[in-house]
Structure 1
């Protein structure tokens, strides 16, 4: 049993309680049934003993009765019903014909009260005896008789066994109904918790921004606290993005002014200083754009889940790049396998694929090859260009923020660094190698989205 499941924990406790209750009920019912059936038998035996006492003939030297008992079983050998009369002084005994030539081992019964006892019967079975000492006045003296009535206990045992079988079937049915009722009670009782879990899952997947719905009073404070935290987080993220945007827009004007200064210096023949200012302004502009793009990334924890088509992101980005001036001159080859749903927000995946494909387009001589495949619990995409490539001893420096290994083309070296940051947020990986065509091969590894 998964002890972390509240539903299974409650069901386990209910199951234990139902089983223990039914076992206790079975024991108590069996005991009460046996007591009541033995009480009924004792009542019948007391009536028989009274009838037997009424027909004893105290004047006879040997104990005798004046008339047989009405139950014919007392006349049938070993029938299971017996009586015996013993003279307490002489030991002379008279028995029912059902005892044949056997004699009951009767225990002492003093005090004048009827005594119930259990002994071994004539046929080796369990026999129930009721014995009482009776004083009777005869013509010459008062005589003392030990009168005993016995019945076989087998009918009681059979009745108890039959009762146990019927009771077991009824209790099993009752137990099944109780367990079903307990399960329904737990399911219905925990349905608000299930609704809360579903709401949290929707928030994690981004399909909802708040926990919505009616919750019981016990859960309402928790829902309010969670919604307050979500609102506070959204407000903080929004303000952070607004500040980043304000900072970026605030820097656009000074950067444009720097370009104007560079142009005036170039017109005055200060080519070197103009070029230096242009480079600084361009790098600052690139870094501002980089920070703005980072600000809109979806910050995640291990609890957040998402599902986005990898092939769709690649094909959509490829379609856009083919329409650019640089993309029109290149031959694009896409060898994508079965579509994979990856655990990444759609916008972040488009940003990641766009960075890698734009980098390949910038350095390719005439061809860019894209391959996709699934490997276990991950999906991978490789992008190869046929450009000049990078020396193997410099591959490990790729993706480091602000590092440019080739100054021949414009850029700040932040593109692949940003790709690495996106993958770090989304628990992915990036690897660099030399392509077969001599250019750079970039391989992205992304976790697959959770099924179901």
Structure 2
């Protein structure tokens, strides 16, 4: 996918949304889990505090309890459960053995509210403290529990959530990718349909498309109809122009004949040449108009050997071709990336040019060089001086005015090759004539 791909953008957005949603959900779930654990611990601490209050002996001068609490952690140093009873009449303080010499801070804490306390040694407790009146005496009773157990449970729960949400994220992204591919399938079908139109296989976009794409399909079909109408109108106008020029050209020939009858041969020749030039220009533009417009993604496949054999067969029946010896060294058939009609035009104009200049033979060779097909056409004609070869292929350029023709054949060949990513070159032939070297890209299988 390219950076401007719609699919890449949607997948990136889906990945960001999924990742951010799962991270946020994981943090919320872990927070709720820890809060639930703390509420549960607070409930246990409230129950333990009520039990501890019931065990206080207010008759004793020294603060003490009647019996130990049943949880052995209160009697184990740093066992994880702690209690403290402080007589507010300054008659002493009692603490669980698990506290050692630690004193819990309770002076600024509201009754019944759970709070956290961390000492300098890394002891982190969650505490509940309450002031109670027993008889005539007031006591500040505090119970607590290590928060480490809650923290460790929260961390373990977080890792479990991370693994679960990681797998869930992969599944969601995979499902999003599959959904994206499914959603983009109509666009791929639309692209294939457009490519079929460009190749000339169909005239309109057809098939079942999603309702969201149907308006676009209708617009494209409407555009194709307008383009076809404009093309037909242009062809009709070109045909009308060609027919319209026949009468003036015929009139020019008539005038030339009358001038010859009156002995004005020079003027007659000038008019004939003018009429011939006009006719050739019209023919050249009409033939170029029939060529297919190509793009970088438009692929064709046409048999080079078939085009050569068909053209040679036709030329051998012409007046100039039947007197020649034709030699075709073709080898394995190669398919080139050019429309069949354009290929026939290319081979036709180059072989016709060779047959016009050849004395006795024309040699056609087909070679392969890397990803290019090379077509060599050599005649045994008079050849062309090296300093004039560069003029070949220019529109309307004729190197020998004594030979009939317009000089447009090789210009048409050049146009066809440039349109289809090929190239043409000219050089002196080994047999004294001209060698036309044409290169065309091979069709992609």
Question: TM exceeds 0.5?
Answer: yes
Deviations 1:264-320 (A, max 9, x none): 999x89795899477666655555543443332224456654333434433443444
Corresponding residue number in structure 2 for 1:65: 65
Counterpart contact for 2:336–2:440, Cα < 8 Å: no
- Taking the aligned partners of 1:73 and 1:24, their CA distance within structure 2 comes to 37
Please say which of residues 357-366 and 87-96 is displaced more in the overlay: 87-96
Counterpart contact for 1:109–1:132, Cα < 8 Å: no
Counterpart contact for 2:358–2:433, Cα < 8 Å: yes
Shift of 1:232: 1.9
Counterpart contact for 2:366–2:373, Cα < 8 Å: yes
How large is the Cα RMSD of the aligned pairs? 3.4
Shift of 1:397: 1.8
Corresponding residue number in structure 2 for 1:341: 336
- The 1:17/1:271 distance shift into structure 2, 3 A limit, reads same
- Taking the aligned partners of 1:112 and 1:262, their CA distance within structure 2 comes to 125
Local SS of the residue matching 1:190: helix
- Residue segments in structure 2 that go unaligned for 5+ positions in a row: none
Local SS of the residue matching 1:355: helix
- The 1:280/1:3 distance shift into structure 2, 3 A limit, reads closer
Local SS of the residue matching 1:2: coil
Local SS of the residue matching 1:146: strand
Q: 303, 308, 322: which is aligned to 2:302?
A: 308
Shift of 1:37: 0.9
Shift of 1:22: 0.9
Q: 415, 429, 441: which is aligned to 2:435?
A: 441
- Residue segments in structure 1 that go unaligned for 5+ positions in a row: none
Matching of residue 14 in structure 1 with residue 9 in structure 2:
no
Q: 130, 133, 147: which is aligned to 1:132?
A: 130
Corresponding residue number in structure 1 for 2:325: 330
- Taking the aligned partners of 1:272 and 1:336, their CA distance within structure 2 comes to 53
Local SS of the residue matching 2:390: helix
Shift of 1:60: 1.2
Corresponding residue number in structure 2 for 1:116: 114
- Taking the aligned partners of 2:109 and 2:434, their CA distance within structure 1 comes to 114
Corresponding residue number in structure 1 for 2:407: 413
- Taking the aligned partners of 1:405 and 1:166, their CA distance within structure 2 comes to 87
Local SS of the residue matching 1:171: helix
Corresponding residue number in structure 2 for 1:157: 151
Corresponding residue number in structure 2 for 1:425: 419
Deviations 1:356-392 (A, max 9, x none): 1121122223343334445566544332222211111
Shift of 1:354: 1.1
Q: 373, 393, 397: which is aligned to 2:391?
A: 397
- Taking the aligned partners of 2:38 and 2:342, their CA distance within structure 1 comes to 83
Shift of 1:19: 0.7
Aligned counterparts, 1:20-419, within 5 A: 20-90=20-90, 92-99=92-99, 102-110=100-108, 113-120=111-118, 124-137=122-135, 142-249=136-243, 276=269, 286-300=280-294, 304-322=298-316, 324=318, 326-328=320-322, 329-335=324-330, 339-342=334-337, 344-374=338-368, 378-419=372-413
- The 1:225/1:111 distance shift into structure 2, 3 A limit, reads closer
- The 1:105/1:439 distance shift into structure 2, 3 A limit, reads farther
Counterpart contact for 2:131–2:140, Cα < 8 Å: yes
TM-score normalised to structure 2 length: 0.86
- Taking the aligned partners of 2:333 and 2:340, their CA distance within structure 1 comes to 18
Shift of 1:13: 0.8
- The 1:312/1:62 distance shift into structure 2, 3 A limit, reads farther
- The 1:284/1:330 distance shift into structure 2, 3 A limit, reads farther
Local SS of the residue matching 1:84: strand
- Taking the aligned partners of 1:243 and 1:375, their CA distance within structure 2 comes to 43
- Taking the aligned partners of 1:311 and 1:132, their CA distance within structure 2 comes to 104
- The 1:129/1:288 distance shift into structure 2, 3 A limit, reads closer
Deviations 1:158-209 (A, max 9, x none): 2112211221122122222322332233233333322222222222222222
Counterpart contact for 1:74–1:81, Cα < 8 Å: yes
- The 1:306/1:363 distance shift into structure 2, 3 A limit, reads same
Local SS of the residue matching 1:313: helix
Counterpart contact for 2:383–2:432, Cα < 8 Å: yes
Shift of 1:418: 1.8
TM-score normalised to structure 1 length: 0.85
Counterpart contact for 1:244–1:295, Cα < 8 Å: no
